[in-house]
């Protein structure tokens, strides 16, 4: 189906863009392969200084809308997209990641058939800089409601796997610019308080790990602080009805020591793979766990702690009946 210019938009895809010239064309192409759903792709250029904008414009697809944001940060970029979105549903794709085929249509069809739900999400997979698969985070084979899980502070998946009703997002006030990172965790937790959320198994997003991504430009101290404060704010809302941000009491972020460096892409990949290895071990898949553990160790061989974990995987008895890893989004 070819989308006409006069056809009403059903889905708004917001793509925050900052210096992603190596990946933006692939990211947009993976979205624009969807031709069965009327959509717009809102590219919010957040002050890029490389060829990112030129490569986005070169695609020449009439469904693309380019909006300038003047380098105000990720939350403001997302809110800029939300403010101009015309679709009934909103989804997000980061400029270095990928959508699988038919993902948008499947989620929109589900939401249209289940009007009592405000959002749907799914599993995701991490991929290497050149796109080769690393590890899947599709933790549950069961399609289920996860509203209570979110209200308990557990965000099992990536926000970019979500399709959300636009009016629900706007009722929440969008993203909160206080969060220099973890704006996605904060949004997921607030979303669980505002509407019912469904989880559908399967890979709905490809998350690319590379050295220039925001995960590798923010210190571990900063990421851990904002992750923790998102959950602290949720606890405050559940206890008193409001959190400190809503009261205008803005907690200062921690000082960032020059010695506190972000994880490298290799360290991040190692962390993901090691998590998967222990997940497989507790699922009773001992040999697969050892294999994944060795892959993890070889990704960043100088980390002796990872080699010790691989040895523990080999020696620790498998107890599949005790399989109870709590789902939570891995960064």
Q: In terms of domains, do 283 and 143 share one? A: no
- pLDDT at residue number 250: 93
314 lies in some domain? yes
Please count the structural domains in the chain: 2
The predicted pLDDT at position 293 comes to: 85
Query: Are residue 146 and residue 279 in the same domain, yes or no?
Result: no
| DSSP structure class, residue 100 | P
212 and 313 share a domain?
Answer: no
- The answer on 120 and 207 residing in a single domain is yes
Say if residue 200 is in the same domain as residue 282. no
pLDDT of residue 322: 42
Q: Answer yes or no: do 101 and 206 share one domain.
A: yes
Q: Are residues 41 and 179 part of one domain?
A: yes
List the pLDDT tens digit at each of the 331 positions of the chain. 445 554 699 999 999 999 999 999 999 999 999 999 999 999 999 999 999 999 999 999 999 999 998 778 899 999 999 999 999 999 999 999 999 999 999 999 999 999 999 999 999 999 988 999 888 887 678 999 999 999 999 999 999 999 999 999 999 999 999 999 999 999 999 999 999 999 999 999 999 987 766 554 566 788 889 999 999 999 999 999 999 999 999 999 877 665 556 667 777 778 778 877 887 888 888 888 898 889 888 888 888 888 888 888 888 887 654 444 444 545 5
- Whether 21 and 147 map to the same domain: the answer is yes
Residue 254 has what pLDDT? 78
Residue 313 in domain? yes
Whether 64 is covered by a domain: the verdict is yes
Q: What is the pLDDT of residue 3?
A: 56
The two tokens of residue 211 are 């050295």
What is the per-residue pLDDT for 324? Answer: 45
pLDDT at residue 218, as a whole number: 63
Tell me the β-bridge partners of 16. 44
Q: What angle do CA 107, 84, 331 make, to 5 degrees?
A: 55
Residue 203 and residue 76 share a domain: yes
Look up the domain containing 16 and give its range: 11-216
User: Which of these, 79, 115, 89, 98, lies nearest to 27 by C-alpha position?
Assistant: 98
* Residue 4 belongs to a domain: no
Domain stop point among 216, 240, 255 = 216
Q: Is residue 209 part of a domain?
A: yes
Residue where a domain terminates, one of 201, 216, 231: 216
Asked if 50 and 193 sit in the same domain, the reply is: yes
> What's the CATH code of the domain at 169?
3.90.550.10
- Domain match, 174 and 288 both: no
Quick check: 313 and 276 in contact, CB under 8 A? Answer: no
Q: Is residue 42 part of a domain?
A: yes
The reply to whether 19 falls in a domain is: yes
In this structure, are 209 and 69 located in the same domain? yes
- Report the alpha-carbon distance of residue 212 to residue 128 in Å, rounded: 13
Q: Which two tokens stand for residue 34?
A: 């969807």
3-state secondary structure of 280: helix
* Rg, the chain, Cα only: 20
pLDDT at position 217, please? 57
Which of 216, 251, 286 lies at the terminal end of a domain, its last residue? 216
Evaluate whether residue 193 is within a structural domain. yes
The confidence score (pLDDT) of residue 304 equals 86
| pTM of the full structure | 0.85
In DSSP notation, 258-313 reads TT-PPPPHHHHHHHHHHHHHHHHHHTT-HHHHHHHHHHHHHHSTT-HHHHHHHHHH
What count of residues does the chain have? 331
C-alpha to C-alpha distance for 94 and 245, rounded to whole angstroms: 26
For 198, the token pair is 């469904």
């Amino acid at each position: 189906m070819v989308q006409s210019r006069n056809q009403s938009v059903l889905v708004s895809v917001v793509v925050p863009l900052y210096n992603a010239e190596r990946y933006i064309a692939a990211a947009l192409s993976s979205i624009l392969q969807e031709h069965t759903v009327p959509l717009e792709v809102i590219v919010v250029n957040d002050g890029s200084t490389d060829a990112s904008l030129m490569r986005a414009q070169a695609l020449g697809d009439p469904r693309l809308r380019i909006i300038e944001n003047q380098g105000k940060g990720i939350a403001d970029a997302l809110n800029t997209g939300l403010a101009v979105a015309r679709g009934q549903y909103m989804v997000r794709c980061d400029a270095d990641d990928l959508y699988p085929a038919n993902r948008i249509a499947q989620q929109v069809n589900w939401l249209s058939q289940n009007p009592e739900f405000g959002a749907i999400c799914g599993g995701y997979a991490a991929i290497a800089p050149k796109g080769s698969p690393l590890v899947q985070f599709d933790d549950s084979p069961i399609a289920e409601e996860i509203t209570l899980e979110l209200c308990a502070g557990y965000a099992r998946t990536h926000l970019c796997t979500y399709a959300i009703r636009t009016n629900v997002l706007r009722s929440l006030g969008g993203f909160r610019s206080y969060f220099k990172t973890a704006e996605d965790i904060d949004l997921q937790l607030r979303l669980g308080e505002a509407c019912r959320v469904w989880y559908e198994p399967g890979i709905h997003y490809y998350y690319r790990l590379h050295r220039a991504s925001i995960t590798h430009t923010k210190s571990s101290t900063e990421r851990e602080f904002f992750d923790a404060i998102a959950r602290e704010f949720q606890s405050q809302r559940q206890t008193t009805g409001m959190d400190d941000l809503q009261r205008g009491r803005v907690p200062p972020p921690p000082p960032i020591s020059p010695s506190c460096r972000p994880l490298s892409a290799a360290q991040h990949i190692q962390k993901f793979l090691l998590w998967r290895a222990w997940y497989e071990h507790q699922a009773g898949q001992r040999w697969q766990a050892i294999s994944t553990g060795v892959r993890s160790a070889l990704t960043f061989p100088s980390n002796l702690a990872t080699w010790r974990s691989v040895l523990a995987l080999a020696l620790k008895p498998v107890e599949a009946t005790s399989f109870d890893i709590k789902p939570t989004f891995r960064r």
